[in-house]
Structure 1
Amino acid sequence: MIEPLLLTATRVLTFAQQARLTSATGFFFERDRRLYLVTSRHVLIDEASGHRPDRIEIELHTDPDNLAQSTGFSIPLYRDGRSVWRDGLDGGGTVDVAVLAIDRDALPERTVYRAFTPDHLPAPDERVEIGATLLVVGFPLGFHDTLHHMPVARQAVVASSFGLRFQGHGYFLSDARTHRGTSGAPVVARVPGGEQALGDLPWMLLGIHSARLDIGTRDLQLDEALGLNCTWYADILLTLTEA
């Protein structure tokens, strides 16, 4: 039996034509029968570093009876010179989250995946305590089960007040050991007894992992990295997936 949570995440590779650029994480989100891939905006474009891929490739399982079978699925990022993904702004500036619509008819016939839905998002008055246990499901440094093409999970805890915009931005902090390649990973918390409402995916989608947080005054020789990460609140997905 495969934990359904692992089937929500997929490895994302970025390309400029045939040249491979970077590796990251994405996950599936479904709303009103529409399917989306969610990842970090900086995976698709990063103006500061000049990162401008023209397509991405995700890995899909193609046989429910043999998860060692997979295929790459290419998604162009531009059509007629315009980007095909959606991103957004809030009062703090650019939100580091992007969504791409996926054409279900273009997927392999026996594609195996699981998707979060709006039912997995926390209610506006949801209380998530400081220090609450989280999981970050992704592909750190591209690492994964290369036989079954599965992501791995890192434990994390809530490190800032959940529901409060940290320093005015639309994210909260998590305390976790993360690496490059985890950008775009779902950050989830187990819902006790959630099987009744959420079936075999009893996880609350709290956010989207973006990047490690550091401070410019840290002495690289004397001070360890903070080990804190920016996690954008998942409710942005309701805005980005509006019809």
Structure 2
Amino acid sequence: MEINSITKKLLFNTIRIDTVLNDGSEGSGTAFIVSHNHANSSYTFIVTNRHLVDDVQRGGLVFTQKRSGLPLFGKRFQLNIDDFSHAWYLHPDPDIDLAIIPLRPLERAANDQGVELYYHTIDSRLALDAMTLRTLDVLEEVFFIGYPSGVWDQVNLMPILRRGTTATPIALEFEGRQEFLIDAAVFPGSSGSPVFINYSDTLRLTRHTNNKLLFAGIVTAVFFREEANHLIPIPVPANNHSIVMGSEMIDLGLVIKAQVIIDLINIYLSEYGFQN
């Protein structure tokens, strides 16, 4: 398979997270790679949810290897991180379910072992901006990529792509937070999945770009029905053990907007001395 389209490249944007929690249970989740320009330099980060890295005893990031600039389908490299929970930079607001880690030190560690990593990044400039938000309709097609219920093509190391639609207007702040809902099947393991809008020809003309996708955000929670007329959002767990028996998922996923991710990267870069 030639990697000759935006969506094919996105197959190599996500990273599978395999974890062992402090209680001994195993879990999996999704992370993805974002590149961001800051102070005339480009920086690359792995992004996931805070709840996927909290209380983790051991964790590893699964990449596809590269040779001569091409992916080696099925050639796995798992980058294990010591003290996994503390390796991540968490959003300073504990109520915002985001964590990031710079990619380049991890890539150097892989190179030191004679391994080249194959990946593609999401350019932060693809994130929805204020002008584009004003042009979006209340119902837009979305898709997201990850490892629902731990399912993936483990022979070829391919994630799972899923479709849905917006369920609340992205231009508004759902419940007063920088979030929105999607109508899509979100399952354990989908946590940390990047979400994209597949926008229309009309929108493409207003944005003056040939790109077919816009970066909308990251899956953080799924809504459950615990009892009649009582719905609650719960962070998408890394495994099925965290789901309360008798609860029913209703195919509504909660998404943190992409701008919050960019803001967190800028906070990190400012805190560690990467000034404008």
Q: CA contact under 8 A between 1:119 and 1:198: conserved in structure 2? A: no
63-72 or 181-190, which deviates more: 63-72
AA aligned to 1:96 is: D
Indicate yes or no: 2:70 matched with 1:61.
no
Q: Unaligned stretches of 5+ in structure 2?
A: 231-245, 270-276
Q: Distance in 2 between matches of 1:59 and 1:6?
A: 13
Q: CA contact under 8 A between 2:11 and 2:158: conserved in structure 1? A: yes
AA aligned to 1:117 is: D
Which position in structure 1 is the counterpart of 2:174? 166
Q: Distance in 2 between matches of 1:21 and 1:77?
A: 16
Structure number with the higher helix fraction is 2
What's the CA shift string for 1:108-166, capped at 9, x where partnerless? Answer: 44210001122111112223322211111000011111111010111010000112221
Q: CA contact under 8 A between 2:197 and 2:216: conserved in structure 1? A: yes
Partner SS for 1:241: helix
1:110–1:198 Cα change, 3 Å: farther
Partner SS for 1:71: strand
The alignment covers a number of residue pairs equal to: 228
Partner SS for 1:160: coil
Indicate yes or no: 2:26 matched with 1:21.
yes
Which position in structure 2 is the counterpart of 1:98? 99
Alignment RMSD: 2.9
Indicate yes or no: 2:254 matched with 1:230.
yes
Q: Distance in 2 between matches of 1:86 and 1:207?
A: 18
Partner SS for 1:179: coil
Indicate yes or no: 2:215 matched with 1:205.
yes
Which position in structure 2 is the counterpart of 1:144? 152
Q: Structure 2-normalised TM-score?
A: 0.73
Which position in structure 1 is the counterpart of 2:198? 190
1:197–1:58 Cα change, 3 Å: farther
Q: Distance in 2 between matches of 1:198 and 1:95?
A: 33
Which position in structure 2 is the counterpart of 1:48? none
1:241 to 262, 265, 271: 265
1:70 to 71, 76, 92: 76
Which position in structure 2 is the counterpart of 1:85? 88
Indicate yes or no: 2:224 matched with 1:218.
no
Partner SS for 1:61: strand
Between the two proteins, what is the percent identity of the paired residues?
Answer: 21
Which position in structure 1 is the counterpart of 2:12? 7
Q: CA contact under 8 A between 2:190 and 2:219: conserved in structure 1? A: yes
AA aligned to 2:258 is: A
Q: Unaligned stretches of 5+ in structure 1?
A: 46-51
Q: Structure 1-normalised TM-score?
A: 0.82
